[in-house]
C-alpha cells in the first residue's frame, strides 16, 4: 500500500489538525458516496484487499499503537495486544475466512400458493456508514465495527476518539495509508461532532455512553438513519454459595481491573450470598495482590485514568463504603488503586451510575432470588456474570434475567468469541456485532421472490367468489417439506389448472 512508516512522537505532536467546515465535510462524504454508487466496494476481492491491508497495518505499526496506548492509558503490552491489536487481527482473520459464506444468498421456503417460484435473501451493503469509536479501547471500538463494515461492502467515515489523544494522532496519520482513500474518510482533526452528525449517512455505529447515545439517536432521526448503539451500564456479577471462590475471585478481578476498570463490560458490582461474602472478599484481595503486587502504583500491569475529568468523577465513590483494599488516589498521576468496597448501600452514588473505573462494590444478598430481584429492578445491563457450580441454579438465573451478553463462571470473555453477538439491550444499547453479526449489522437483508410466469392462475385475481376463497384457504393450510418445492413447482408449471381443479 502507501507505506510502512513509523511516525515519531515529535512528528505527531507537531502535526496540524485543521477542522473541516460544513462544505468540505459534505464534499468528502459525497466523494465516498460516488465511490459506493460506482460499485467499487461490492467485489469480495476489494473487501479482502482492504481487510488484508488493515491486518498488515497492525503488524507493521504494532509499536506505534502500543506506545500510544501506553501514553494515553498506561496499557501494558499484554493488554494492548489482547484487547486491541491482537483482538482486531483475530476479528479480521475470522472475517476473511467466513466472508464468502456470509455474502451467499440464503434460501427461504416458498408457500405452495406462490409456486412455481423461488425465495431467497440477499445481503447488500447499506452505503456510507459513520463509525464513532470510544476512548477506553480506541482501536478495538473504532476499527472492530470498520472490519464489519468492510466485510459487508460499505464505504465509511471513521471518527477515532479524540479523548485518547496519542492514539488519535497515530490513527489519524497511519490509518489512511492502509485504506482506499476513495471509499474511506478518517476524521483526524477537530471537526465538530455536531457538524458530523448533521450529515446524511446510511448507517451510524456509535460506541460510548448512554447520554451521548441519546444525542446520536436524536441526530439520526433527521434522515431516519439506522443506528447501532453500543453503550454500557452496571453489569452485575452474582456469586452463589456453590461457586469456586478462588476462580471466581481471579476472573472477577481480571475482568474488573483490566484497563483500570475502564471497560464497558467490566463487572460493575458483585452480589454474593451472605455466608460466603467475607471469604470471597479475602480471595478478591488476594487476587489483586497477586496481579499487581503489594503496591499497584508500582505495577507495570495496571493502567491509569484517561484524564482528570474521569479521575475526579470516581474519587467521591471511595467514600460510599468501607474500603477493604486499595483506596489510594493520585490525581497528578491519574492513578486510582484497585479498590474493593463493602458495607455499601444500594442507594449510594456508586450504585447509581456505571463506575467505569477500578472500584468494586461487593454487596451481600441472602440468596440468589434476592440477587435476581435486585438486578431485575434496574436497567438491563450490557453484561451479566454468574458464578456457580450448581447447573440448575445457573439455568434458573439465566431464565429469569436479561442482558446483552452473559458469562457463566467467567467475565468479559464472551466478546472474544467471533460467533457470539456483542451488544446491549434496552438502555445498554441496540444492535449486535462481531463476526457474522457485524456483517449483518452493516447489511440490508433484501427479500427476493422470483416468480415464474409459466403458471398464472385466475385464483389470484378479482373478481373473487366463494369458490376462490375456499381454494385459497385450503392452499394456505397446506405445507410440504422444502425438498418438494421444486418438483411441485414443475408440476404446477405444466398442469397447474388441473391440479387446482382438484382442490375444492
pLDDT tens for the chain, residues 1 to 504: 343 334 444 344 444 467 899 999 999 999 999 999 999 999 999 999 999 999 999 999 999 999 999 999 999 999 999 999 999 999 999 999 999 999 999 999 999 999 999 999 999 999 999 999 999 999 999 999 999 999 999 999 999 999 999 999 999 999 999 999 999 999 999 999 999 999 999 999 999 999 999 999 999 999 999 999 999 999 999 999 999 999 999 999 999 999 999 999 999 999 999 999 999 999 999 999 999 999 999 999 999 999 999 999 999 999 999 999 999 999 999 999 999 999 999 999 999 999 999 999 999 999 999 999 999 999 999 999 999 999 999 999 999 999 999 999 999 999 999 999 999 999 999 999 999 999 999 999 999 999 999 999 999 999 999 998 998 999 999 888 888 999 999 999 999 888 888 887
Of the chain, the end-to-end C-alpha distance in Å amounts to: 68
In this structure, the strands spanning 335-336 and 329-330 are antiparallel
8 A C-beta contact, residue 182 and residue 210: no
C-alpha cell at position 154: 460499505
Backbone angles phi, psi at 336, to 5 degrees: -125, 125
Taking the alpha carbons of 282, 288, 293, 294 in that order, is the dihedral positive or negative?
Answer: negative
Instruction: List, by residue number, the catalytic residues.
Output: 230, 264
Residue 129 CA, chain-centre distance (Å), reads 15
Q: How far apart are CA 77 and CA 66, in angstroms?
A: 7
What pLDDT is attached to residue 481?
Answer: 87
C-alpha cell at position 143: 476499527
What pLDDT is attached to residue 15?
Answer: 44
Backbone angles phi, psi at 207, to 5 degrees: -120, 125
What pLDDT is attached to residue 479?
Answer: 87
3-state secondary structure of 161: coil
Q: How many of the other CB atoms lie within 10 Å of CB of 83? A: 23
Q: How far apart are CA 469 and CA 472, in angstroms?
A: 5
Amino acid at each position: 500500500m502507501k507505506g510502512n512508516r513509523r511516525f515519531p512522537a515529535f512528528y505527531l505532536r507537531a502535526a496540524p489538525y485543521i477542522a473541516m467546515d460544513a462544505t468540505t465535510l459534505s464534499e468528502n462524504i459525497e466523494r465516498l458516496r460516488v465511490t459506493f454508487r460506482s460499485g467499487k466496494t461490492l467485489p469480495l476481492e476489494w473487501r479482502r484487499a482492504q481487510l488484508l491491508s488493515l491486518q498488515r497495518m497492525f503488524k507493521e505499526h504494532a509499536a506505534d499503537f502500543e506506545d500510544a496506548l501506553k501514553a494515553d492509558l498506561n496499557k501494558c503490552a499484554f493488554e494492548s495486544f489482547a484487547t486491541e491489536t491482537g483482538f482486531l487481527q483475530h476479528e479480521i482473520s475470522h472475517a476473511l475466512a467466513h466472508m464468502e459464506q456470509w455474502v451467499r444468498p440464503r434460501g427461504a421456503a416458498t408457500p405452495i400458493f406462490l409456486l412455481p417460484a423461488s425465495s431467497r435473501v440477499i445481503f447488500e451493503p447499506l452505503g456510507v456508514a459513520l463509525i464513532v469509536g470510544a476512548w477506553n479501547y480506541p482501536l478495538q471500538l473504532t476499527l472492530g465495527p470498520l472490519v464489519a463494515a468492510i466485510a459487508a461492502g460499505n464505504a465509511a467515515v471513521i471518527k477515532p476518539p479524540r479523548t485518547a489523544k496519542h492514539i488519535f494522532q497515530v490513527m489519524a496519520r497511519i490509518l489512511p495509508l492502509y485504506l482506499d482513500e476513495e471509499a474511506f474518510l478518517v476524521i483526524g482533526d477537530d471537526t465538530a461532532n455536531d457538524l458530523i452528525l448533521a450529515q446524511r449517512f446510511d448507517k451510524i455505529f456509535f460506541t460510548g455512553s448512554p447520554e451521548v447515545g441519546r444525542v446520536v439517536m436524536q441526530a439520526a432521526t433527521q434522515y431516519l438513519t439506522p443506528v447501532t448503539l453500543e453503550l454500557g451500564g452496571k453489569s452485575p456479577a452474582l456469586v452463589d454459595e456453590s461457586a469456586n471462590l478462588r476462580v471466581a475471585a481471579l476472573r472477577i478481578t481480571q475482568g474488573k481491573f483490566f484497563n483500570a476498570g475502564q471497560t464497558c463490560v467490566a463487572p460493575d458490582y458483585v452480589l454474593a450470598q451472605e455466608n460466603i461474602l467475607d471469604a470471597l472478599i479475602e480471595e478478591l484481595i488476594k487476587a489483586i495482590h497477586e496481579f499487581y503486587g503489594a503496591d499497584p502504583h508500582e505495577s507495570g500491569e495496571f493502567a491509569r485514568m484517561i484524564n482528570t475529568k474521569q479521575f475526579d468523577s470516581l474519587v467521591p465513590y471511595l467514600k460510599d463504603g468501607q474500603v477493604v483494599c486499595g483506596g489510594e488516589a493520585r490525581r497528578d498521576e491519574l492513578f486510582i488503586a484497585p479498590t474493593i468496597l463493602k458495607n455499601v448501600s444500594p442507594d449510594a452514588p456508586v450504585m447509581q451510575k456505571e463506575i467505569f473505573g477500578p472500584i468494586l462494590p461487593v454487596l451481600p444478598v441472602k440468596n440468589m432470588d434476592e440477587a435476581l430481584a435486585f438486578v431485575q429492578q434496574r436497567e438491563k445491563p450490557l453484561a451479566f456474570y454468574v458464578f456457580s457450580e450448581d447447573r440448575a441454579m445457573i439455568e434458573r438465573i439465566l431464565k429469569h434475567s436479561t442482558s446483552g451478553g452473559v458469562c457463566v463462571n467467567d467475565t468479559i470473555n464472551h466478546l472474544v468469541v467471533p460467533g457470539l453477538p456483542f451488544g446491549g439491550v434496552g438502555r445498554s444499547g441496540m444492535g449486535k456485532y462481531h463476526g457474522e453479526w457485524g456483517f449483518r449489522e452493516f447489511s440490508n437483508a433484501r427479500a427476493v421472490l422470483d416468480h415464474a410466469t409459466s403458471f398464472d392462475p385466475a385464483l389470484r385475481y378479482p373478481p373473487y367468489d366463494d369458490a376462490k376463497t375456499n381454494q385459497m384457504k385450503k392452499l394456505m393450510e397446506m405445507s410440504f417439506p422444502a425438498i418438494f418445492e421444486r418438483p411441485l413447482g414443475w408440476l404446477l408449471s405444466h398442469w397447474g389448472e388441473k391440479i387446482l381443479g382438484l382442490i375444492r
